Structure 1
Amino acid sequence: MKIKVILLAVIFSTSVVWANPLTKKRVLVYTKNGKGFVHTNIAASVTAFIKIGQLNNLIVDVSNDPSVMNNKNLSKYSCLIFSNTNNEIFDNEQQRQDFATYIRNGGAFVGIHIASGSERNWPWFHEMIGGLFIRHPAYQLFDIKVIDKKHPATTMLPAVWKKEDECYFMTELNPISQVLLAADLRTVIDSEKSIYPGRTFGDYFPLAWCHEFEGARVFYTALGHDEKDYSEPLFVQHLTGGLLWALGKN
């Protein structure tokens, strides 16, 4: 009798697993660029996110076609990753509104590097992503201070991360953002530093942050200019932590 009960229990538990398989979350890596400068790092970033997906039980789709920005298609995705999108990245107003609807319905968003230079004439987008790119000094080695050591995107980083990259300066910074990383401007060589940012932010300028915006979790990092960044373990861990946070996997 006990054997029968045990067998029934095993069969029942197995049938429950079969009936409710663990479903993978699906994310979209979007890489559309409008007229203007296009980063050569896009292919490397796509490869990195595909590997991140494989290691974290995620299905990763990739597109640079604005037609994917429609309500029906976007409903498939748990997160949109704008990897080095730049300038005009939507074809029409309906696509913009469908993207905004996705955000307002609780969809997650991750922005990488020049994604902050996307849709420069759309204030809502700047507010959502957290800022609007305006310029950067020359690519160089500088110090990055970890502001929040407890976030999944920063726990693996040293207190001061010495990294070669472009130090992005932005306007329209959203005050709700939780700053994660900041450039130590004392270590940045920039002939126009006194013009902007000057002393506006003291010795530091935000480089990575997160916030909740109109129902969506948003993570952004200004880092990632060079192709080699996307095979550098520390930077890939930084991206992975940001993505998993956006997906709600703390």
Structure 2
Amino acid sequence: MPHRRPQVLVYTRTTAYRHDSIPDGIRAFRELGTENGFDVHATEDPEAFDGGLDRYAAVVFLSTSGDVLTPRGREELKGYCASGGGFMGVHAAACTEYDWPFYGELLGARFARHPELQPGVLTIEDKEHPATRHLDAAWAFTDEWYDFRANPRGAVRVLASADESSYEGGGMGDDHPLVWCHEYGGARVFYTALGHTAEAYDDPDFRAHLLGGLRHVAPLS
């Protein structure tokens, strides 16, 4: 019997701000799948959740925004997490489902604001994690440098944080997590605040960062 390739759901529905980089993100995940033996189902249809999510090794919210799930979809995602599913959020996933407390706790923090797009530097705090072990101690990147409504440290394993001295307009001070993982509601969870620009998804280090996050939440081999 042939081995069935793992399936990953990449969900990109937006009801608020829409990132121009979403097609580039979908392409990057599909190419990572081709290179690493998993298949990607990309959709913006909330009814994709209604048939159950158990066939997916991971669910990825890629720059979603606003309310993107139906009431049934919320229940399906919660049930998927409870059954040991994998959840990954990228960039504006933190700008999503503000009125659903479970989602905010699942992701780890909610977006508050960001300064203008600009270069800056991340401090890599955890060199053991697959999403960060390929990186140097300081990672130069161009992004929006999200501030969050609350600092998730203490409730999550922080992998990388923003060095606010490296850019203008940071609002969280010396302790500014940007990438983290944890377990919540039965699910393995990974979140990265990076991924605003189309160019990011062609960056080999960022692609390896995404793949490492996906490997954290999902059995891909």
Match of 1:32 among 3, 6, 13: 13
Report the aligned-residue RMSD.
1.5
1:178 aligns with 2:178: no
Q: Larger Cα Rg: Structure 1 or Structure 2?
A: 1
Alpha-carbon deviation of 1:78?
1.0
1:45 aligns with 2:25: yes
Partner of 1:23: 4
CA distance in 2, matches of 1:108, 1:158: 27
Task: Give every structure 1 segment of 4 or more consecutive aligned residues whose post-TM-superposition deviation is greater than 6 Å.
Answer: none
- Relative contact order higher in (CA < 8 Å, ≥ 6 apart): 2
Alpha-carbon deviation of 1:37?
1.3
Stretches of structure 2 that go unaligned for 5 or more consecutive residues are none
1:111 aligns with 2:89: yes
Partner of 1:234: 205
Alpha-carbon deviation of 1:248?
4.1
Counterpart contact for 1:181–1:207, Cα < 8 Å: yes
Partner of 1:219: 190
Give the TM-score of the pair, scaled to structure 1: 0.84
Partner of 2:65: 86
1:164 aligns with 2:114: no
1:127 aligns with 2:105: yes
1:207 aligns with 2:178: yes
CA distance in 2, matches of 1:170, 1:157: 24
Counterpart contact for 2:110–2:148, Cα < 8 Å: yes
CA distance in 2, matches of 1:52, 1:229: 14
Give the TM-score of the pair, scaled to structure 2: 0.95
Q: Report the residue type matching 1:87 in the other structure.
A: G
Q: Report the residue type matching 2:111 in the other structure.
A: F
1:245 aligns with 2:220: no
